[in-house]
Amino acid sequence: MEHIVEVAEGVSLWVEARGPEHAPAVLLIMGSTASGLFWPDALVESLSQHYRVIRYDHRDTGASTWAFDRVPYSAPRMAEDALAILDALGIAAAHVVGLSLGGLLAQWLMVEHPARLLSATVIGAPALDGAPERADLASRASIDPGLLEFWSHMFDPRDLDAQVEWRVENWRRLNGQVLAFDAEEFRVLERRVIAHAGRHDTSTAHARVDPSGLRRGAELTQVSVPTLVIAAPEDPTHSVSNARFLAETLPRSTLVTLDGMGHAIPRAIVPGLAAALLRHFESTTSQAR
């Protein structure tokens, strides 16, 4: 079921909820500039057999309001949008799963609003800035320089076909070298996302969002939320050492490595990811009984 949730005056978010209405909720938070549709349908379908699964478009993505110049916002405000969605759907607390920027927003929620999280899962994100340093583990490994150079052209104007192909190439680079990359899978997905948004450009809003409010890493050592940290060995944006650092910083964490995974969720990785998430949700539910 689709919903439109107003999170500020003149700002509404596209939200989709699947699964039993009274089942425990799972809130999926996507990364920067990415529509919620990038959470694969197959993953949502698998989780929604037992949970009420919610995915949504951030501000300035997908079918949500694009209005950063008129209504600017900070990174913590993006995290608060997630809570506004839960409030609108009458959900007191949820299992929160964040990818990339979504993983940072999930950590901020763990620090600021722990009672709203049944559990957390962080994928492809480092610890929040300010986490206690360790001599044996880096908190933030460098992003591949070639990828950074490629990203410097993210907002270049392109026609529809060229935009689709640029995005497919981006997913190829994020996919890593182990799992075979199916360009057509992501080409179809990108065309679906563009049709969903009604436009093919990429907003610069998330590149201009003030991230300073996310500097809450020093508080991660006190977080009580049970957290799954997923290490993706093929991720060119955040290395396995980042995942290890985060897992060792959080008091109630479990580290799981998904072999072959990069910074994308191709069809091939969905079964393993779904299984890891379901195990985590069930284990946290069992501990709470």
Q: What is the pLDDT of residues 234-252, one digit of tens each?
A: 999 998 999 999 999 999 9
Instruction: Tell me what pLDDT residue 139 has.
Output: 82
Full-model pTM: 0.97
**Side-by-side strand order, sheet with 94-99:** 2-8, 11-18, 52-56, 25-29, 94-99, 117-123, 227-231, 253-257
Burial (CB < 10 A; 0-12, 13-18, 19+), residue 105, is buried
Residue 129 in tokens = 């800035």
Residue 231's alpha-carbon distances to 4, 221, 264, in angstroms, are 33, 19, 12
Instruction: Tell me what pLDDT residue 288 has.
Output: 58
Instruction: Tell me what pLDDT residue 144 has.
Output: 87
Taking the chain (289 residues) in consecutive chunks of 10 residues, what is each chunk's mean pLDDT?
A: 95 98 97 98 98 98 97 97 98 98 98 98 96 86 90 97 98 96 98 98 97 97 97 94 96 98 97 98 77
Instruction: Tell me what pLDDT residue 141 has.
Output: 80
* Cα angle 38-178-262, degrees, rounded to a multiple of 5: 35
Instruction: Enumerate the active-site residues.
Output: 100, 235, 263
Instruction: Tell me what pLDDT residue 134 has.
Output: 87
Instruction: Tell me what pLDDT residue 219 has.
Output: 98
Instruction: Tell me what pLDDT residue 136 has.
Output: 85
Task: Kindly provide the b/e burial profile for residues 194-224, where b requires at least 16 CB atoms within 10 angstroms of the residue's own CB.
Answer: bebbeebebbebbeebeeeebebbebbeebe
